[in-house]
């Protein structure tokens, strides 16, 4: 069960995922620290994020993944370390693991940068498979070093997939209103949600994978499109891309389009997030453990775009 609240360090806090984790940690009452580069202060976007952190009472520590001394020093302040670093820095998390070991045995939990599909149970191909392989390698290092861990799997991000109806168009900021591309037959289901970090101090989640799978948010692409059509009172023109076509298109596409297509293939064609059963031996489901948490449903999320 839950214990006394830990002090939390977030590494990568000014990134897309990190800023939500830092904010959620601070607002949930944890004494929160964010490790940021000093150069972030001069960046107009990241500088504003850091100022927001300070307004929430977050302690700002300066350092870098390549500066082991700054990592060790930062880790000595806390009980839990959460990494939210991006794709280009995934393998640099080995430095975090090393710093955790060097700082002593006081760290109660490390949450490496996951927050997507379960990389140990994936059928992804191409660039998505390569990304997942790096995350899996970090898992193996964590386990080999005996670092206490929790892997958090929240599957699809609303802002990436739901806000665009899973269209591989980086310029889209809201769901399309005229045409939509459906991958495969559109019936494979994915999982979409926002959730707070309730698992960091829960002994039931120690050395386990936490899956954030609230029932209302387990939906197929067809279901999301139909829901959006009902909200705008219009039927979208649909183009179906077969698996064969998609498999041909992935290696022919430039980056990051190839990665987006490969993710869509894994999630919406192969059902990468729903093909397996969560067994107690390796995982727990968050909405069952924390039924009091109010999450944003797919239906509610789409309302902001109507």
Q: Which residues are catalytic?
A: 135
Three state DSSP letters for the chain: CECCCCCEEEECCCCCCHHHHHHHHHHCCCCEEEEECHHHHHCHHHHHHHHHHHHCCCEEEECCCCCHHHHHHHHCCCCEEEECCCHHHHHHHHHHHHHHHHCCCCCCEEECCCCCCCCCCCCCCHHHHHHHHHHHHHHHHHHHCCCCEEEEECCECCCCCHHHCCCCCCCCCCCCCCEEEEECCCCCEEEECCCCCCCCCEHHHCCEEEECCCHHHEEEHHHHHHHHHHHHCCCCEEEEECHHHHHHHHHHCCCCHHHHHHHHHHHHHCCCCCCCCCCCCCEEEHHHHCCCCCCCCHHHHHHHHC
Of 237, 258, 268, 271, nearest in space to 168 by CA: 258
Length of the chain: 306
Q: What angle do CA 125, 128, 134 make, to 5 degrees?
A: 110
What's the CA angle centered on 213, arms 207 and 214, to 5 degrees? 130
């Amino acid at each position: 069960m839950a214990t006394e609240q830990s002090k939390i360090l977030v590494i990568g806090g000014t990134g897309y995922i990190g800023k939500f984790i830092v904010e959620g940690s601070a607002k949930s009452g944890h004494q929160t620290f964010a490790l940021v580069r000093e150069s972030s202060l001069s960046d107009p976007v990241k500088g504003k994020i850091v100022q927001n952190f300070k307004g929430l009472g977050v302690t700002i520590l300066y350092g870098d993944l390549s500066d082991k001394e700054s990592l060790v020093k930062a880790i000595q302040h806390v009980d839990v370390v959460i990494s939210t670093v991006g794709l280009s820095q995934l393998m640099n998390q080995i430095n975090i693991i090393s710093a955790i070991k060097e700082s002593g045995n006081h760290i109660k939990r490390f949450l490496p940068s996951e927050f997507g599909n379960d990389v140990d149970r994936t059928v992804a191909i191409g660039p998505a498979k390569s990304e997942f392989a790096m995350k899996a390698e970090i898992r193996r290092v964590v386990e080999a070093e005996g670092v206490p861990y929790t892997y958090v799997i929240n599957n699809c991000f609303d802002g990436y997939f739901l806000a665009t109806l899973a269209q591989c168009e980086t310029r889209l900021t809201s769901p399309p209103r005229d045409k939509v591309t459906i991958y495969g037959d559109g019936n494979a289901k994915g999982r979409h949600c926002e959730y707070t970090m309730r698992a960091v101090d829960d002994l039931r989640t120690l050395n386990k994978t936490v899956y954030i799978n609230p029932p209302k948010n387990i939906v197929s692409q067809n279901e999301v499109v139909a829901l959006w059509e009902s909200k705008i009172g219009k039927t979208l023109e649909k183009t179906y891309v077969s698996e064969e076509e998609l498999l041909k298109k992935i290696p022919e596409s430039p980056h990051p389009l190839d990665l987006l297509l490969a993710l869509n293939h894994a999630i919406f064609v192969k059902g990468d997030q729903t093909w397996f059963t969560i067994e107690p031996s390796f995982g727990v489901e968050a909405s069952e453990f924390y039924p009091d948490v109010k999450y944003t449903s797919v239906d509610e999320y789409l309302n902001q775009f109507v």
